[in-house]
Amino acid sequence: MSRVIGIIFSSAGYDRAAQGVTGAGRRLADALGLPLQMVVVGGGGGDLAGSLAAVADAVTVLTVTGVADYQPEQTLAALTDLCRGEGAQAVLLGNDTWSQELAPRLAHRLGGSAAGDGVELVIADGRLRVSRSVYGGKAMATIELLRDPAVVWIRARAFDPATAREVPAPIESLEAAPTGEPATFIIERKSEVTGEARLEDAQVIVSGGRGLGGPEPFTDLQDLAGLLGGQTAASRAACDSGWCPPSWQVGQTGRKVAPGLYLAVAIRGASQHLAGISEAKTIAAINNDPDALIFKHCRFGIVEDYRKVLPLLRERLAAMRKE
């Protein structure tokens, strides 16, 4: 029987990404009139499997003997067998490292087609169409997958979660046998605490300039960045003043960043600074000068003394996060 399969790795738990994949899977399955089977890869997903069961039609916890959570060749082989056996019509994954590594190869093994980074999925003439941003965010493309099954990794956090159903789905466990001695083997793994990731990779950056007037406000910016899951950066003028480490400098002679959101606080927007944020998707600013150059590059902003804005903004964002 054909079905939609969603694949989640147990290690991250039922986070926003897992919710997005499940939500997208639920809606796709409904649109196709097919059941949704969620697959948890890796052991120890007790809570996770339970949460998935609330929205899926079936939940499988898949482990490979001898593999703690993920080994590329082993996991791929086990997933291929599972998808083949279940007659997957479409396979959804998140946009984490492992999913991106697996998806094209899984599609190839299943004789299907893959597409990645989807932000919207629609069915047209019985084929899955994936919308994604291309050309560094300058354009949107819609891609039609020509072979079955469709294997798609999605920008998981962009998709709404699904609402829980009354009867939870059954949870089954499946232990696959390893495939001989694999040619690749992950031997060591290190997780870096968020906040230490490279500025270049940050999705949200809160950045401060000379207008802050001193080092103290940077603590507030860090709080704000923390609330948004982002990082803190600065203009050269602020770095030069010694208010923050030089490694925070963004711009022509500093870091070149590409966050989804760049919030510039008390930064004028000199071209040398802008040169570092030309790849930012959305720029927003807090500046008390309505003519500040930075506003020319913003999607939105507020003309106000940052000292008045920050405390309120922080309060409001904290409240929104709780919701």
Partner 1 sequence: MIAADIISKRTVTSTASATAQKQKIKVNIVVCLKQILDPEIPSRDFRVDSEKMEAQRGGASLVTNIFCENALETALQFREKFGGRITALIFAPAGGEDSLRKALAMKADAAVHVINDGAAHPDPLAVARVLAAAVRRLGNIDLVMVGRESGDWGVGQTGGLMAEELGIPSVSFVDRLEKQERGLLLHRQTDQGWENVEAQTPLVVTITNDDQNLPRIPKTRDIMLSSRQPIIRWSLEDLAADDAGIDVAEIRAGGGYYRVVDLAIPTKEIVCEMVAGETLEERVDQLADRIMSVVRSL
Partner 2 sequence: MLDNTLDSEATRPVLWNISQSWLLYVMFAASLAIAGYGLYRRVMAWRRGQPAARFDQPWPRLKMLLTHAIGQRRTVRERYAAFFHTFLYTGFIVLFIATMVVMADHRFGLPIMRGAFYLWFQSLIVDIFGALVVAGTAIAFVRRLVHRPRKLVLNDESLRILGLILLMALTGFLLEGWRIAATADPWGVWSPFGYLVARISSLALTAKSMELAHVITWWFHSVLVFGFIAWVPYTKLLHILTAPLNIYTARLAPSGASLKPLDLDRLAETGEPMGVRTAAQLTWKDLLDLDACTECGRCTDVCPANTVGKSLSPRDLILDLRDLVRAPQAGEPAGITSTVTAAAPDSLWQCTTCGACMEACPVFIEQMPKIVDLRRYLVMEESDFPETMQQAVTSLETRGHPFRGTQSTRLDWAEGLPVKTIGEALDAEVLLWVGCGGALIERNQKVVRATAQLLAAAGVNFAILGREEKCTGDPARRIGNEFLFEMLARENVETLNRHAVKTIVTSCPHCFNTLRHEYPQFGGSFEVYHHSEYLAKLVSEGRLASATPLDQTVTFHDPCYLGRHNGVFDAPRQLVQISSRRMVEMERRRENGFCCGGGGGMSFVDEPAGQRVNQERAREALKTGAEVVAVGCPFCMTMLEDGINARRGERDVRVMDVAELLWESVGKKA
Q: Would you call 83 helix, strand, or coil by DSSP?
A: helix
In the numeric block, the tokens 């959101």 are attached to 261
Q: Which does 256 bind (CB under 5 to 8 A by kind): partner 2, ligand FAD, partner 1, none?
A: partner 2
Q: Give burial (CB, 10 Å; 0-12/13-18/19+) of 133.
A: middle
By the rule CB under 6 A, 232 interacts with ligand FAD: no
The minimum distance between CB 235 and ligand FAD, in angstroms, equals 3
Q: Which does 209 bind (CB under 5 to 8 A by kind): partner 1, ligand FAD, partner 2, none?
A: ligand FAD
The minimum distance between CB 260 and partner 1, in angstroms, equals 4
Sole window of 58-66, 93-101, 166-174, 248-256 interacting with partner 2 (rule: CB under 8 A): 248-256
- Rounded to whole angstroms, the Cα distance separating 106 from 85 reads 14
Please identify, using beta-carbon distances, which residue of 16 and 210 lies nearer to partner 1.
16
Q: Binding partner 2 by CB under 8 A: which of 158, 176, 204, 275?
A: 275
By the rule CB under 6 A, 237 interacts with ligand FAD: yes
Q: Would you call 181 helix, strand, or coil by DSSP?
A: coil
Please identify, using beta-carbon distances, which residue of 80 and 272 lies nearer to partner 2.
272
Please identify, using beta-carbon distances, which residue of 80 and 288 lies nearer to ligand FAD.
288
- Looking at residues 79 to 138 of the shown chain, list those that interact with partner 1 (rule: CB under 8 A): 96-98, 100-105, 108-109, 113-117, 119, 124, 129, 131-136, 138
Sole window of 14-22, 63-71, 86-94, 299-307 interacting with ligand FAD (rule: CB under 6 A): 299-307
By the rule CB under 8 A, 72 interacts with partner 1: yes
By the rule CB under 6 A, 283 interacts with ligand FAD: no
Q: Which does 135 bind (CB under 5 to 8 A by kind): partner 1, partner 2, ligand FAD, none?
A: partner 1
Residue 263 Cα distances to 27, 57, 282, 297, angstroms: 33, 41, 8, 11
Q: Binding ligand FAD by CB under 6 A: which of 3, 132, 155, 273?
A: 273
Pairing of strands 204-208, 261-265: parallel
Q: Binding partner 1 by CB under 8 A: which of 7, 145, 154, 171?
A: 145
- Identify the DSSP state of 194: T
Q: Would you call 301 helix, strand, or coil by DSSP?
A: strand
- Looking at residues 165 to 224 of the shown chain, list those that interact with partner 2 (rule: CB under 8 A): 210
Q: What is the DSSP string of 28-77?
A: HHHHHT--EEEEEESS--HHHHHHHHTT-SEEEEEEETT-SS--HHHHHH
Residue 320 Cα distances to 17, 210, 241, 305, 306, angstroms: 18, 29, 34, 23, 20
The minimum distance between CB 241 and partner 1, in angstroms, equals 26
Q: CA angle, 145 as apex, 95 and 85 as ends, to 5°? A: 75
Q: CA angle, 75 as apex, 70 and 76 as ends, to 5°? A: 135
In the numeric block, the tokens 């080092």 are attached to 215
Residues that bind ligand FAD (CB under 6 A): 209-211, 235-238, 249-254, 266-268, 270, 272-273, 276, 286-289, 292, 305-307
